[in-house]
Copies of this chain bind each other. A is one copy, B any other.
Amino acid sequence: MLSRLARLATVHETYPVDAFLLTHPPTIRHLSGYFFNFETGPSPFHLLPAALIALPGSDACLIAADTETGQIATLPPPLEIKLYESYVYERPLDFARQFQIRLHEMITQFGLSKACLGVELKALPVLVQQELSNAFPDIRLVDVSKEVEQLRLSKDPDELEMIQKAVHLCDVGQETLLKEARPGISELELFSCVRTAMEAEAGRRFPLMADFVSGPRTGEAGGGPTNRIIETGELILSDLTPCLDGYWGDTCQTMVVGKPSSIQQTMFQRVKEALHLGIQAIRPGVKASAIDQLMRDHLAGLGTYSHHSGHGVGVVYHEEPRIVPYNDLELSPYMVVALEPGIYRDNQGVRLEHVAVVTENGCELLSRFQHRLTAD
């Protein structure tokens, strides 16, 4: 974690700011380890989930709500934590003011009252900026959003471990899908089996984005589970994207309940080949666009997909490297890439997805699940 904070020095080379005031939640997770669970929406008792103040190469401080002590207890000790009063019932709520007071205290403590601050303008509320300007009229702000995002491209060992854990939950979910799928079960019931197995593995709830559709709905590529009853011979498409402590996993499986038709077998086989080709091609120096083209070309004639061929995975579920036609970004070691080619035609869809980490001379799969068209 500390090593990542230190890496802000590279942003400092481009923008010689005096300090960073970072407020974009994925940035905060990435640099400080703090994750605010967004699953039930923004808290009505927070102005922001948190704020991170970091001096290039030295001190850093996280400002967070005093209701978040459970999460904060797990953060590495060198990071200074400043809590502000958030939820109270004995007197009127004053969390916005309390947050600003802490922020201004830290600006003073770090000697930043006339500083140039690197910020993320997209994630900084005008309210915070105005009160900062009122208190410290000489402070200037520089947008460093893009440069800070760049720091996330290659993953550290602890990040790979986090992503591996999230991807493992996908593996558990997809195995459960194969085991529990049967004619007569509803999409929601089947999804519930899958999610329950994943939660039991994690020992708790976590945010879970999912495409979970059956029959003709697979032809639309995605959507949430409904009360639709799954019939013999129908496809089930299960794209599971869990977020464990702020890091995402992501795999997709497609299967048939009962005996697959000839076209289902062909679609599955070709998509599996495309995915395999893509994985084989992953290595340092290869362009994202080349992997995209390889997989699209392999499916040409049989069908197509009007979405990306893949994407990076980390503290955001879709991030660089985007595996898309225009992207000439070259892969490099410790990037994490999800590949997900698909075919959608005649009210049927097949998509298969694996997650891999780029290594020195190829890649290593983080997802262990083996795609199978049927449970047998």
Contacts and interface: CB of A to CB of B under 8 A. Distances in A.
Interface stretch (A108-116, A159-167, A270-278, A317-325): A317-325
Contacts of A199: 188, 192, 225
Contact of A125 (B90, B122, B130, B200): B122
Contacts of A122: 47, 96, 125, 127
Interface in A116-136: 119, 121-127, 129-130
Interface stretch (A202-210, A348-356, A358-366): A202-210
Interface string A33-57: 0000011111011010000000000
Contact of A41 (B45, B125, B126, B243): B243
A119 B209 CA distance: 32
Nearest to A195: B192
A92 interface: yes
Interface residues of A, number: 60
Given A96-B122, A122-B47, A226-B204, A89 B129 contact: no
A89 B308 contact: yes
Interface in A80-112: 89-93, 96
Most buried by B among A38, A119, A123, A205: A205
Contacts of A324: 89-90
Contacts of A307: 89
B205 A224 contact: yes
Contacts of A47: 122
A143 interface: yes
Given A38-B38, A125-B124, A90 B207 contact: no
Nearest to A46: B122
A92 B39 contact: no
5 contacts: A44-B319, A121-B127, A122-B127, A123-B125, A188-B199
Interface of A: 25, 38-42, 44-45, 47, 89-93, 96, 119, 121-127, 129-130, 141, 143, 186, 188-189, 191-192, 195-196, 199-200, 203-205, 207-209, 224-227, 241, 243, 306-308, 316-319, 322, 324-327
Given A124-B125, A188-B204, A192-B195, 5 more contacts: A45-B318, A96-B122, A121-B127, A125-B125, A191-B205
